[in-house]
Structure 1
Amino acid sequence: MRSIRLPDGARLATYVDGPAQAPVTAVLVHGLSVTAALWRSHVPLLLREGMRVVRYDQRAHGYSTRGTAALSLNQLADDLAQVLETTAPRGPLVLAGHSMGAMTLMRLVARHPHLAPRIRGLVLISPPYAGISTRTGTGPAQSILTLGRNLLASACTHAPYLLDMVRRHLPTTNRWALHSHARPASDGPPLPCRQGLHATVTGDIAALWHDLADQQPDPHPLQQLGARVHLVAGSLDAHIPPEQTGRLAACLPRAQMETVPDATHALPLRHAQLVTDRISRYASPLRAVDKDAAQQSDLGKAV
């Protein structure tokens, strides 16, 4: 593990595997409330494909610190730009992100367009069309789930210090427990995913949630990447339904949209080989060109 210092004082815990001379670097971005451990099964598979792999804990998650900057999607995208500048300043990139991580990548392309020529592939797993929402569907079960989420969001917003008191008394195995943790060894692994928010106070969780919920649709920056964009959704995702990802895909006519049957929001964990395959297909320019040609052929047959 290495620590990347940001201008506002935050430190991002970063994990780099594979040789520096690898022909392409895969950068993997996790979502809200988890850690870089989300990608633990993907790393050895990608290394076998000859790729260098970079993961990091997003600001205020895992071993990464909070810093003084506002928690926002813009800041997360700028954080990622600094990670790229530090760990992979040159050479082709394959970027993959899940949920909030996918939103971070989309904002990175918008705020740092100079990176576009280096992006060989952009794999967006469970990205929403716009902002995230507590309502994800219709029907009685979804209504109950939405009610619970609304109550939790309201409590996080209006009584964060009270919730922090409760969280400090939760067992350390509880994903919402609040406590500090020791710094890892320099070669240590990321914190387990379920400990992603152990050092994040409730007020910061609420601030990040509200910023993500307020996002407006902006697919245009992705259009410059054409067929280099691959969207993946789970058919049973209760957090970001595949219809949301489908709306984004409809704005990107050259992108590929894939819905995985019986997959939930935990798609990267439960379908690690599938996700790895979608990332590694961009490992070489030839494979990327073949993919683009196959897509164009499929489009021609459809017409």
Structure 2
Amino acid sequence: MRHKAAGTVTVLPDGEPRTVTTSDGVELYAEVGGAQDAPATVVFAHGWTLSSRSWAEEAAALGETARTVVYDQRGHGRSGWRSGYVPSIDQLGADLYAVLDQLVPDGPVVLVGHSMGGMTIMALAADHPELFGDRVTGVALVATSAGRLGEVTLGLPSRASHVTRRVLPRLMAAAERWGACADLARRLLPPRRRLVQRQVQWLLFGPAAPAAAVAACAELIHATPARTIGAFYPALLRHDKHAALEPIRKVPALILAGELDRLTPVSHSHALAAALPDARLVVVPGCGHMLPMECPETVTKHLRELLPADS
């Protein structure tokens, strides 16, 4: 399967489509690729409003020496949704457990999570600590947070951030309730519009980010239903896994942060590093929240450090 990202065409090695059925019956779309006889499998979890395609560059590169699994979080990409479902990060952790159970039943696993995907790994650690140090042999937490996201200012002045924190929850609630109408309205501002891409770059990228990466990210966000975007917002604000990081201390861990990240500021990565003192913290200069798409070569280079020596 071919995917165009950051101005290039990348082939997800052997990207064989799979379906994972979650504990509550939702079907998740996944692709298994890479070196099928490799000693380890790398499982990628993507962030809010995105899809597994945000990991295309890293999955292709690591697939040269490792087995890879990418999947779409529920409600995102090509994965399903359950009517009446109230999103929670804990459920995403249960979904990741289903992915491991059905697609990676044995062998060492390296878990890689960006933003909400990193929170998903934390939820898995909270509910299944026995996996860490046994099945899970490495963890990468990329531009993510253990909680207190309601305090994020997006880099705005205090008065503006106060207004944003009051208005944004209402907008998200409206998006969830009137998702179909919101999606119709979004068509008036398609992702190819320069205004949209400027907004995406300001919020999610550094000032020198490749234009093609910004455009590809805008496409992913536009493809995510407004219902999904709005429904997951409260779950992100409720997320608090500071007390659940202990299992991750059992394995080599990497914390990657963008110096200019507005959504999960670098201070949140420093807090993770304080809770995981043996983890390696890498702050990427000049980059924002979308590290997997803004600087995939840098991300891949550091992810390789988590693979077994014989990979």
TM-score higher than 0.5:
yes
> Which residue does the alignment assign to 1:195?
220
3-state secondary structure, aligned to 1:152: helix
> Does 1:107 find its partner at 2:123?
yes
> Which residue does the alignment assign to 1:83?
99
Q: Deviations over 1:253-290 (max 9, x none)?
A: 21111111111001111111111122211221479xxx
The one-letter code sitting in structure 1 at the alignment partner of 2:98 is Q
User: Structure 1 CA distance, aligned partners of 2:294 and 2:242?
Assistant: 29
CA RMSD, Structure 1 to Structure 2 (Å):
2.6
> Which residue does the alignment assign to 1:157?
173
> Which residue does the alignment assign to 2:298?
274
- Deviation for aligned residue 1:226: 4.1
3-state secondary structure, aligned to 1:281: helix
- Deviation for aligned residue 1:171: 2.4
User: Structure 1 CA distance, aligned partners of 2:97 and 2:131?
Assistant: 9
- Deviation for aligned residue 1:89: 0.7
- Deviation for aligned residue 1:230: 1.0
- TM-score w.r.t. structure 1 length? 0.79
Identity value in percent: 29
Q: 2:125–2:244: 8 Å Cα contact kept in structure 1?
A: no
User: Structure 2 CA distance, aligned partners of 1:270 and 1:251?
Assistant: 27
The one-letter code sitting in structure 2 at the alignment partner of 1:282 is L
- Tell me whether 266-275 or 160-169 shows the greater mean CA deviation: 160-169
Q: 1:73–1:103: 8 Å Cα contact kept in structure 2?
A: yes
> Which residue does the alignment assign to 1:63?
78
Which runs of 5 or more structure 1 residues have no equivalent in the other structure?
176-191, 288-303
> Which residue does the alignment assign to 1:123?
140
Counterparts in 2 of 1:284 and 1:212: CA distance versus 1, 3 Å: same
> Does 1:228 find its partner at 2:244?
no
> Which residue does the alignment assign to 1:178?
none
The one-letter code sitting in structure 2 at the alignment partner of 1:90 is D
> Does 1:255 find its partner at 2:279?
yes
Counterparts in 2 of 1:271 and 1:150: CA distance versus 1, 3 Å: farther
Counterparts in 2 of 1:232 and 1:143: CA distance versus 1, 3 Å: farther
Counterparts in 2 of 1:71 and 1:138: CA distance versus 1, 3 Å: closer
Candidates 203, 206, 231, aligned match of 2:230: 206
* Rg larger for: 1
Count of residue pairs brought into register by the alignment: 268
3-state secondary structure, aligned to 2:306: coil
> Which residue does the alignment assign to 2:205?
none
> Which residue does the alignment assign to 2:69?
54
Counterparts in 2 of 1:21 and 1:33: CA distance versus 1, 3 Å: same
Q: 1:94–1:279: 8 Å Cα contact kept in structure 2?
A: no
3-state secondary structure, aligned to 2:262: coil
Which runs of 5 or more structure 2 residues have no equivalent in the other structure?
1-16, 192-215
- Tell me whether 166-175 or 66-75 shows the greater mean CA deviation: 166-175
Q: 1:5–1:11: 8 Å Cα contact kept in structure 2?
A: yes
